[in-house]
Amino acid sequence: MTVKQWMVAGVAALWAAGAAAFPTIQHWQTANGVPVYLVERHGLPVIDLRLDVDAGESRSPLDEPGVASMTAYGLMDKEYDGNELRSPLEILTDTGNQYWADIRRDRATINLRVVSTRSPMTMVSTVAKQLADAKYPFESFKYRRDAVIGQLTDDPAKASAEDALTMALYGKHPLGNLDRRTPATVKKVGNSDTRGFQRRYYVPGNLIITLVGDVSRADAEKMAELLTAHLPKGEAAAPLPALAIPPGPADTAPIRLVRQKNQSTIEMAQLLDIDRQSPDMPAIMLGNYMLGSSGFQSRLMRELREKRGLTYNVNSSLGILRGHSMLDIEISTRSEQEQQALQLLRDEVARFTREGPSDAELSEAKDRYLRSMSFWGSTNESLIGLVANLGYYGLPLDYYDRLSERIAALTAADIKTAWQRHVDPARFLVAIEGPEPAKTEAPAAAQASAP
């Protein structure tokens, strides 16, 4: 495989000597067809390995959110057999290696981080045995379930501004299952549910493996075979039902979550009907970067923090899933000025959508963005995330090269057009965590500072 060069002709001049090359991604399939992605990096005695499984909360039954979470969390649980002294999890972590499971809206991720000199093959075979035959023994299942229940709230729509928004935006779609987990729904989950879920979704057609770090191709192949050879048989899960992104009413009143605070957190969000495969995505990404996700260089930081001192931090972010994305803007500010801050946010988004960036602004932002791409994946931890995304969303191996080419080719008009096509400034859903509205107009209650 040829070395993947980040550079593209159009921006080559920007890259001085020692230009970054995106690390080589090796790619193959296991004997039973599981895609594997590997980046070898031998500078540090550490191997990161992860499995991304289409077994996120979106695969839980609609009336039983939490099954996917319990399945992922309890994967390593096992009853002690005969003279066994240690459980799988103890084998994995007693040596200081790390194992953890993440559950997201659209996938489950099983992570293993090992020192490459500390029996990595034993670690991998321990995970493999459990994947092949996860039993979810009742006692540990119950204990784990109680722990999960302890973290959940009865009324998630009131838990935080973010939860209130995502619940409203995803509604009853399976992608909203993550937010709809409550103590009551998780209590209904039994270990027979998780066993069934694991056998249905943790199957060769439904997952990918990514490795980064101090591991050779030969060992990586062995690890991937170990992990997959005895998996329950199965195909990829059917695609989720399409997520309707209704235009929604314009300018709805903010959802208010009353809090005993002297600072309000304002969050505004809307769903966009595009993903990484969409031709407009680079323009939306770069636009978001300019508007609110490039730290001090973003318009929002300049206008609200640097010029007006209204906040410590304001930012926008773009969460991209399959088939859609979510644009989300967040700020915290002294409660008396919350309406002023919200109006400024609305104005800035409207202005950006209406006018787009100037040519000079675009060329400067583009330059910064392309240069910052040379830092993408500079750590193993960030690299494995990038590579796993590429695999999980079925993107070509040269996706990041192409992305930089497409960013480099954008014009100010492209950004304006894409933004106008996909973002409607009048249709953000807004949630505010802060004191009751009457309080926001009164002078600040004297807040005694600590002694």
Partner 1 sequence: MSRHAAFACCCASLLLAMFTPAWAAKTVGGLKPSNPVVEPTLVHPLLATRVEHLDNGMTVVLHEDHRAPVVELQVWYRIGAIDEPAGLTGISHALEHMMFRGTAKVPTGEYHSRVARLGGENNAFTTRDYTYYYLTLPASDLETAFDLEADRMQHLALAEPLFKTEIEVVKEERRLNTENNAFRAFGESMQGVVYPESPMRNPVIGHMDDLNKMQVSSLRDWYGKWYAPNNAIVVLAGDFDPARTLPLLQRYFGAIPSRALPARAAPQEPVQQAGKRVVLKKPSRSSLVSFQWRIPADAPPRDLAALDVLAEMLSHDYQDRRLALASDSLYANFDYPTRGEPLFVFNATPSKDASLGELESAMQKQVALLRGAGLYGQMLERAQQRLQARSYFSYDELSNRASELGMLTLYGFTPEQYVAHLNLLQQVTLKDLERVADTYLKDEHRVVGVLEAQPIDKIVATQEIKHDR
Nearer to partner 1, 99 or 392 (CB): 99
What is the bridge-based pairing of β-strands 255-258 and 429-434? Answer: parallel
Closest CA to 326 of 428, 220, 442: 428
Q: Which stretch binds partner 1 (CB under 8 A): 197-205, 230-238, 345-353, 361-369?
A: 361-369
Where in 85-114 is the site for partner 1 (CB under 8 A)?
A: 85-87, 89-90, 92-101, 113
User: Nearest distance from residue 360's CB to partner 1, in Å?
Assistant: 13
Tell which positions 150-169 bind partner 1, by CB under 8 A.
Answer: 150, 158
Backbone angles phi, psi at 255, to 5 degrees: -80, 130
Closest approach, Cβ 296 to partner 1, in A, equals 4
Query: Minimal distance in Å, beta carbon 122 to partner 1?
Result: 8
19 interacts with partner 1 by CB under 8 A = yes
Task: Please list every residue from 299 through 358 that binds partner 1, using CB under 8 A.
Answer: 302, 305-313, 332-334
Of the candidates 31, 2, 39, 66, the one whose C-alpha atom is nearest the C-alpha of residue 380 is 39
What residues between 232 and 291 interact with partner 1 by CB under 8 A? 257-263
Tell me 281's DSSP state.
Answer: H
Q: Nearer to partner 1 by C-beta: 89 or 350?
A: 89
Told to check if 378 binds partner 1 by CB under 8 A, we report yes
Report how many residues bind partner 1 under the rule CB under 8 A. 84
Q: Which amino acid is at 178?
A: L
Q: How far is the CB of 175 from partner 1 (least distance, A)?
A: 24
For residue 202, the 8-state DSSP code is: S
In Å, the largest CA–CA distance within the chain is 71
- φ/ψ (deg, to 5) at 95: -90, 10
Residue 450 sits in the site that holds partner 1 (CB under 8 A): yes
Residue type, 335: S
Question: Of 27-35, 137-145, 242-250, 273-281, which segment contacts partner 1 by CB under 8 A?
Answer: 137-145
Name which position in 218, 233, 238, 447 contacts partner 1 (CB under 8 A): 447
By CB under 8 A, what part of segment 166-195 binds partner 1? Answer: none
Count the Cβ atoms, other than its own, within 10 Å of residue 177. Answer: 26
Shortest CB 73 distance to partner 1, Å? 6
4 in contact with partner 1 (CB under 8 A):
no
Asked if 47 and 215 count as a contact pair (C-beta separation under 8 A), the reply is yes
- Direct distance between the N- and C-terminal alpha carbons of the chain, in angstroms, rounded to an integer: 64
Residues 39-58 close enough to bind partner 1 by CB under 8 A: 41, 43-46
Phi-psi region of 270 (alpha: psi -120 to 50; beta: other; left: phi over 0): beta
Instruction: Report the 10 Å Cβ neighbour count for 86.
Output: 12
- Closest contact distance (angstroms) between CB of 261 and partner 1 is 4
Q: Candidates 20, 132, 245, 426: give the one binding partner 1 (CB under 8 A).
A: 20
Which residues in 205-356 belong to E strands, given as ranges?
207-213, 255-258, 263-272, 314-320, 325-334
161 half-sphere exposure, CB direction, 13 A CA radius: 21
3-state secondary structure of 152: coil
Binders in 395-434 for partner 1, by CB under 8 A: none
Q: Least distance in Å: CB of 307 to partner 1?
A: 7
